[in-house]
């Protein structure tokens, strides 16, 4: 079941409008292109430093070398280029911003929604403190293995279902935008979830799940930004054992709930809803 679909659609629309310049960061240029598409090193040099918005004097980013750094420790540094009058921020995808004015103290650009954003170079020394704890490693949603178990009775038999949520080193990159339309990426570690069902000491079923196991039922765009966050053993009926898996966008309320059915013969199937036994 999909929650908060409106928010997900809005993000998808913003991404769709912004991806027209994907090739600039990832596609090798043909020889005929090299004379036309040349990085503007003068403009890139002008961007070096800390920039704040004119409206609230809020720090937006720091440009250092080929990277943009963001305030706080939640966001990853991103590679950038300046090509043909555009600031191009690269990551899992590429977003471009038309530069309207750039000099030693002023940076004006059009956001991905067409709004004119006005930034100025920060001269406040304490603004550099915003970048002391720049995040370079993905965020782990769990610090250690989480174990859950549930006991259910069915047809005078006692079953115990286990869930082990194991932090992994698989990276999930979530793309978002700040209030001025600047692309931000956050990296998270995904999880591998092990489930097993026992009747007494007899093992009836066991499997490791990753989010790829749910590709058939979850929207591909959503799944790319989601993590396999949780799973619960929710019951037994005449059709078998049932688990509920949660695939969510980190730090948001958007989730898919997928139901795992394990038949008495040990066959696994996935469902959008928990089906009632006849």
Six-digit token pair at 154?
Answer: 């069915």
Q: What is the pLDDT of residues 115-140, one digit of tens each?
A: 999 999 998 888 888 887 666 678 88
Please, what CATH class does the domain formed by 5-131 belong to? mainly beta
Six-digit token pair at 118?
Answer: 């006005």
What does the alpha-carbon distance between residue 129 and residue 172 come to, in Å, rounded to a whole number?
Answer: 28
Q: Helix or strand or coil: residue 241? A: strand
Rg of the Cα trace of the chain? 24
The conformation of residue 71, written as its DSSP 8-state character, comes to: S
pTM value is 0.69
What does the alpha-carbon distance between residue 210 and residue 191 come to, in Å, rounded to a whole number?
Answer: 7
Q: What is the pLDDT of residues 89-116, one digit of tens each?
A: 998 889 999 999 999 899 999 998 889 9
The conformation of residue 129, written as its DSSP 8-state character, comes to: G
Q: Residue 68 in contact with residue 88, Cβ under 8 Å?
A: no
Collect all residues with Cβ–Cβ distance below 8 Å to 263 and sequence separation of at least 6. 239, 240, 269
The conformation of residue 39, written as its DSSP 8-state character, comes to: B
Domain spanning 139-271, CATH architecture: Beta Barrel (2.40)
Mean pLDDT of 222-226: 92
What was the pLDDT predicted at 30?
A: 46
Q: How many CA atoms lie within 13 A of 28 on its CB side?
A: 2
Place of tokens 């800390």: 50
Q: What is the pLDDT of residues 2-20, one digit of tens each?
A: 444 333 334 333 334 343 4
Domain boundary assignment for the chain: 5-131, 139-271
**5-131 and 139-271, same CATH topology:** yes
Residues paired with 145 in a beta bridge = none
């Amino acid at each position: 079941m999909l929650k908060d679909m409106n928010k997900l659609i809005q993000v998808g629309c913003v991404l769709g409008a912004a991806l027209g310049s994907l090739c600039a960061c990832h596609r090798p240029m043909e020889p005929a292109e090299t004379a036309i598409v040349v990085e503007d090193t003068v403009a890139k040099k002008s961007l070096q430093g800390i920039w704040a918005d004119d409206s609230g004097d809020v720090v937006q980013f720091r440009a250092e070398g080929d990277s943009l750094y963001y305030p706080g420790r939640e966001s990853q540094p991103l590679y950038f280029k300046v090509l043909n009058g555009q600031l191009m921020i690269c990551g899992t995808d590429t977003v471009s911003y038309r530069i309207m004015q750039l000099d030693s103290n002023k940076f004006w650009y059009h956001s991905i929604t067409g709004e004119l954003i006005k930034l100025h170079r920060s001269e406040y020394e304490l603004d550099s403190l915003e970048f002391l704890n720049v995040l370079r490693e993905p965020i782990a949603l769990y610090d250690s293995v989480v174990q859950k178990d549930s006991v259910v009775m069915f047809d005078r038999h006692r079953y115990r279902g286990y869930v082990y949520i194991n932090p992994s080193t698989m990276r999930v990159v979530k793309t978002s935008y700040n209030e001025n339309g600047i692309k931000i990426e956050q990296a998270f570690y995904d999880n591998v979830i092990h489930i097993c069902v026992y009747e007494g000491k007899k093992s009836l079923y066991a499997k490791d799940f990753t989010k790829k196991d749910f590709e058939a039922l979850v929207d591909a765009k959503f799944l790319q930004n989601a993590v396999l966050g949780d799973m619960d053993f929710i019951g037994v009926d005449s059709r078998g054992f049932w688990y509920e898996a949660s695939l969510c966008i980190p730090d948001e309320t958007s989730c898919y709930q997928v139901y795992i059915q394990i038949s008495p013969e040990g066959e696994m199937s996935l469902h959008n809803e928990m089906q009632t036994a006849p």
